Amino acid sequence: MSYPHTYIFPGAFQTVVISGPHLQVLAASGDVVHSTAKDDFDSRESVLKSGPVRCATVDASHKHLVTVGEDKRMKVWTIDGLKLLSERELPKKPTQVLFARDEQTILVADKFGDVFSYPLQPPPSDPAKDEKKEQASEFTSHENQSGGTLVLGHVSLLTTALLSPDGRYIITADRDEHIRISWYPQGYCIESYCLGHKRFVSAIHIPSFAPSVLLSGGGDPVIRKWDWMTGAPAGEIPILDAVLPYIAVRVAKRKRWDDGDEEGEGGEGKKAKKQHGRKGRARNKAGVNATVPPDAVAEGEAKDVEMADEMEDPHVTIPAGGADTPEATPAPVDVTVAAPAAPEEPVLVLRRIQTVEVDGTQLIVFNAVGATAVFWCPADATSGELVHAHDMSKPVLDIVSVGDGLFWILLDAQWRDSSAPSGDTTATASPSVKLVRLSPTLLVEVNDSPLLNALNTTSIVNVAEGETPSLDLYADIVSMPKNTEVAHDPMTAEGKKNAKEEGKRRTRQLLAAAQGGTPTPASDSVEERETKRAKSEGESV
C-alpha cells in the first residue's frame, strides 16, 4: 500500500509533492532531491508523529513551504534543502493556509470560524512576558499560545479563504452559505457580502483575466459569479447534471446533530452532553460522580431502564386497578426485520475552481470531491450543456494549473469501485498523477514528461510497517453538508407517531376502557388549529 499524492506545488526549477505525512522535492528532471520518507532524514520522526498533511501552501517565490498535520502543528520549511525552520501549535484545526502578499505573513482559517495571522519566523519567546499573558475568559473563543493575531471571525466553520490580487481584501467562505469580503489586515471592516448560495461554499476563485469577478461553488447545483466588491450576483453556470454521473465515492450520512466539536475536533475542550430521561440521568450520574461504585450505578440504571420500558412500551396492559397493580402482563411484541439500507445518494462538493485562457477562450476548470472526471466550460457559459467532462477512471483529488493550458491531475490510484470484481487489479496499475493539456472542447493527456514519470514511480511513498494512514480523502462529503433531515419531525410527520407517542396513546385508551369511559384526545392529535385572527383597526383593543 502506498500514499496518494495529495498536494503538488510546481515551480520553475523544483516541484514540491506531499504524500500522506511525507514531503518531497523533485527536480525538473524527475530526480528526488529531498524526501522526508528517507530513513536518514533528520525530522522524520516528527513528520510521522504529525500524521497526514491536511493543509499546505507555498509562497509566490517558491522559497518556503507551510504544512499542518493532524496534530495541528504548523511547520515552516525551506524548499531548498527541505529544512524545518519553525514549528507552532495552532489553537484549532485549520481548513485553509495561505501566504500574504509580503510572503512574511501566514494566514490560517480554522474550523472555529476564525482567521489568524502569524509571522513567517516566530518571535523569540520571553518567559517574563509569557507569564503575564492574559488567561482566556468566558468571552474568549479559544486561546492562541502561538502568538497569532486575530484578523476576523465567522459564526460558522470556515471552508476556504483567499486574498484579492492586490492583497487589500480577504475573501472567506463558510458552511452556512456565506461569502464575506473584508479588508486586510483590518478584518473587522467588512466591504460586502455575496449572499445567494443555498448550501455550503467550499471553493472560491478570482480569475486572472477578470479580477473583479469571484467564482464560487460548493453544494449548490451551480457555479455562481459575483461582483465581489459590491456583492452583486453576475450570473451562474448549471453544473449538477454534468457532474452527478461521475461522482463515484459514496459515504454514509451522519445522524442529525452528529457534528462533533469543531466539526470533527474530537470533543476537545467540550464536556459530554447531558442525556435526558431516566436512562440518561443514570448515565449522567455515573459520569459526573466518579466515586459512586459502578455496581450501584448499574443497579440504579437497571431499575430506571425497567421502569422506563414499562411506561413507554406500547404493548403494556394496565388493569383496572391502576398502574401499581402487579398483575400487568405485557402483550407479545411484533418483531420486524429492517430492510437493507438503500445506497447512499451522491453528494456534490466542489473541491477546486481554476481558470485559464486557451486559444483566446477563457475557461473555468473544476473538480468535485469523489468524482472521477475533470470538468471545464467557457467562462461566459449560461447552460449546463456547455460543461465538458473527461473521465480519469479514478477519483480526482486535486487539479493544479501549470500555465499554457497544462494541468497536473492528482488521482486516488488505489481506489476501487465496490461493484468491481474482487480480483480486479486495475487499482495497482493506475497512475497517481496525470499531466493534461486543455483546449476549449478537448482534454489531451501528456505522457512525455520526466517529472510525470517520476511522480508515478520513484516518488511513490509506501506505507511503512506500523504506520496507520487515516487520510480521510473524502471527509468533505460527510462534513460539509448540514444534516437537517429528521426521521420523525413533528412539524412534517403528517400524523405519524413514534413509539413513545403510540405507547402513551395506548395507555390512555386502556385506562379509559378500565374506567368505563372514552379516552380524551390528546392536544397534539388535533389536525388543525384555529389561527389567531388579526384585529382590524375598527375593533377595540
Domain spans in the chain, listed from the N-terminal domain onward: 5-125+140-253+344-479
CA 424 to the chain's CA centroid:
31
Q: pLDDT digits over 47-95, tens only?
A: 999 999 999 999 999 999 999 999 999 999 999 999 999 999 999 999 9
Residue whose grid cell is 459526573 = 288
| Residues 294, 396: Cα–Cα separation, whole Å | 51
User: Residue 500 — left, alpha, or beta (φ > 0 → left; ψ -120 to 50 → alpha)?
Assistant: alpha
Place 184 in a pLDDT band, splitting at 50, 70 and 90: very high
pTM: predicted TM-score of the whole model, two decimal places: 0.75
Looking at 143-152, 232-241, 311-320, 518-527, which range is the least confident one?
Answer: 311-320
Residue 238: closest CA among 226, 222, 216: 222
Q: Is the pLDDT of residue 324 over 60?
A: no
Amino acid in the structure at residue 100: A
Q: What percent of the chain has pLDDT over 90?
A: 60
pLDDT for the residue 509: 86
Query: How high is the mean pLDDT of the chain?
Result: 81
Sequence-ordered alpha helix ranges (H) in 292-394:
294-312
Q: pLDDT digits over 335-361, tens only?
A: 344 444 555 789 999 999 999 999 999
Identify the H or E element spanning 476.
helix 476-479
pLDDT for the residue 101: 96
Strand partners, 217: 203
431: Cβ–Cβ under 8 A, 6 or more apart, which residues? 411, 413, 456
Place 368 in a pLDDT band, splitting at 50, 70 and 90: very high
pLDDT for the residue 499: 75
Identify the H or E element spanning 30.
none
Residue 451: closest CA among 9, 6, 27, 7: 27
106 in Cβ contact with 97 (< 8 Å): yes
Q: What percent of the chain has pLDDT over 70?
A: 69
Amino acid in the structure at residue 521: P
Q: Give the count of beta carbons closer than 10 Å to the beta carbon of residue 42.
A: 11
Residue whose grid cell is 395507555 = 507
Q: Is 127 helix (H, G, I), strand (E, B) or coil?
A: helix
Place 425 in a pLDDT band, splitting at 50, 70 and 90: low
pLDDT for the residue 289: 45
pLDDT for the residue 251: 81
541: Cβ–Cβ under 8 A, 6 or more apart, which residues? 535
Q: pLDDT digits over 268-323, tens only?
A: 444 455 555 555 555 555 554 444 444 444 444 444 434 344 444 444 444 444 44
| Residues 437, 405: Cα–Cα separation, whole Å | 5
User: Residue 294 — left, alpha, or beta (φ > 0 → left; ψ -120 to 50 → alpha)?
Assistant: alpha
Q: pLDDT digits over 185-194, tens only?
A: 999 999 999 9
| Residues 115, 260: Cα–Cα separation, whole Å | 21
161 in Cβ contact with 151 (< 8 Å): no
For residues 427 and 239, the model is more confident at 239
Q: Is the pLDDT of residue 492 over 70?
A: no
Residue 121 DSSP class: S
Place 129 in a pLDDT band, splitting at 50, 70 and 90: low
pLDDT for the residue 303: 43
Q: What is the mean pLDDT of residues 366-375?
A: 98
pLDDT for the residue 335: 39
pLDDT for the residue 5: 97
Helix 294-312, helix 277-288: angle, nearest 10: 170
Omega before 185 within 30 of 0, i.e. cis: yes
The CA–CA distances, whole Å, from 357 to 162, 377, 500 equal 21, 11, 62
The CB-side HSE value for 209 (13 A sphere, CA atoms) comes to 13
Q: Is the pLDDT of residue 224 over 70?
A: yes
Identify the H or E element spanning 352.
strand 350-358
- When the candidates are 3.40.50.2300, 2.130.10.10, 3.90.1310.10, 2.60.120.10, the CATH number that belongs to 5-125+140-253+344-479 is 2.130.10.10
Q: What is the mean pLDDT of residues 476-505?
A: 68
